[in-house]
Amino acid sequence: MTYIERFRIAPGSRVELADVEPGAKGRHDSHKSALDEIERDQKKLRALQERFYADGRFGLLICLQGMDTGGKDGTIRHVLGAMNPQGCRVASFRQPTAEELAHDFLWRAHRATPKRGEVAIFNRSHYEDVLVVRVHDLVPKRVWSRRYDQINAFEHGLVENKTLVLKFFLHISKQEQLIRFKERLDDPAKQWKISEADYQERGYWDDYTAAYEDVLSRCSTEHAPWFVIPSDHKWFRDLAVARIVVEYLEGLELRLPRPAVDLAHVRREYHHARKA
């Protein structure tokens, strides 16, 4: 079974996150036992992304969502760390600005989508507008409940215009989140990430879970699938996301463009230059 088959949410299925083990590790017992596989995937990802950039027929949009400390930043470091920065970009979606609020909720997402040949990673995404706004009652239900269909139409339009859309929910347990909060408290390099809201949001865990279950159930489509990635083990999270991206890129039959110059003429010029 491929990683795509294992973690993809089948369109039309009802997701219950309680049925997904956030501490799953696949066939590996530890990070050490998975290192060879991780390194192979990183090499594949680097080569495929360079070919993707040269091919120039497609864009790739990777959306990362999850509870706080789920590992969005870590996943970005792992996936982008294997790629050439020339063809990659990260967009973060925080509280909307005044300009963004003056437009429809998808405006800021559309502006950040990748051009052809480019990989764009959304750190959080347009799904915030059916998650945080729902949990904290920022807009009426009659407004956010219509957004699922609008999001599906938006993503379908991207795919129709040759943008591949892959969406990852980084699934951690409530217990693991508390451990990671403690790591932030103890690590001076991570203390800047701490806010009182982190602990306050834990009180909405069940509400966020219900909101995510609706997102995963209603917005995993054939053209823009959702994947639920067990993320209690950071190394397995990174392995699974990288492997799924590799599997999709391998399926694109990427090709290098033809040279734009007469190679025979360039070779003659090269030999003349060597003799001069």
Question: Mean of the per-residue pLDDT values for the chain?
Answer: 92
The residues, ordered by sequence, that sit 6+ positions from 139 with a Cβ below 8 Å of its Cβ are 133
Amino acid at 48: L
Rounded CA gap, 241 and 235, in Å?
10
- Is-contact 240 23, C-beta < 8 A? no
Least confident of 13-22, 38-47, 262-271: 262-271
* Banded pLDDT at 59 (limits 50, 70, 90): very high
List strand residue ranges (DSSP E) for the chain, in order.
59-66, 88-92, 119-123, 163-171, 226-230
Residue 18: exposure state from Cβ atoms within 10 A (0-12, 13-18, ≥19): exposed
Q: What is the pLDDT of residues 31-51, one digit of tens each?
A: 999 999 999 999 999 999 999
Q: Specify the number of domains making up the chain.
A: 1
* pLDDT score for 75: 95
Of 126, 132, 116, the residue nearest 153 (C-alpha): 126
User: What range defines the domain where residue 151 resides?
Assistant: 3-275
CATH number of the CATH domain containing 159: 3.40.50.300
Question: What is the CB neighbour count within 10 angstroms for residue 64?
Answer: 24
* Banded pLDDT at 263 (limits 50, 70, 90): low
Quickly list H helices, 224-262.
234-250
